[in-house]
Amino acid sequence: MIDLPQPTGAELWPPDESGSAARLHKPWRILVAVLEVVLAVAAGWGVYAFWHSGMATVVTRTDDGAVLESHRYFGGHLAAAIGLGVVAAILLVDAVRQLSLALRTRPRKPKD
């Protein structure tokens, strides 16, 4: 058995985080959240545009009157749509985080 030194009261971990909590609460984070929502909406518009430009329907009529319909998919456009969708989702999640950090209440200081 290894006998390791035990921490005393002054060496306890994690240290008191009274200073870091005050740094997280900043009202300007609301502007960051609004900007991220606007960018997510723009990315959503891009998803719609890329997704619909990534598919084409090809219709061919043969000599005997048969109509052949096929669908052509363009991988680059569909991949861009999926990538923009992921970016939009990440932006929305971070906007919620920024908003919660901006609006959360500060802990009350203890009265002496």
Q: Which residues, in sequence order, are CB contacts of 86 under 8 Å at separation 6+?
A: none
Give the pLDDT of residue 104: 74
**Looking at the predicted structure, is the pLDDT value of residue 22 above 60?**
no
CA terminus-to-terminus distance, the chain: 46
SS (H, E, C) 56-80: EEEEEECCCCCEEEEEEECHHHHHH
**Which tens digit of pLDDT belongs to each residue from 38-80?**
999 999 999 999 999 999 999 999 999 999 999 999 999 999 9
Give the residue among 18, 40, 31, 35 at the shortest CA–CA distance from 85: 40
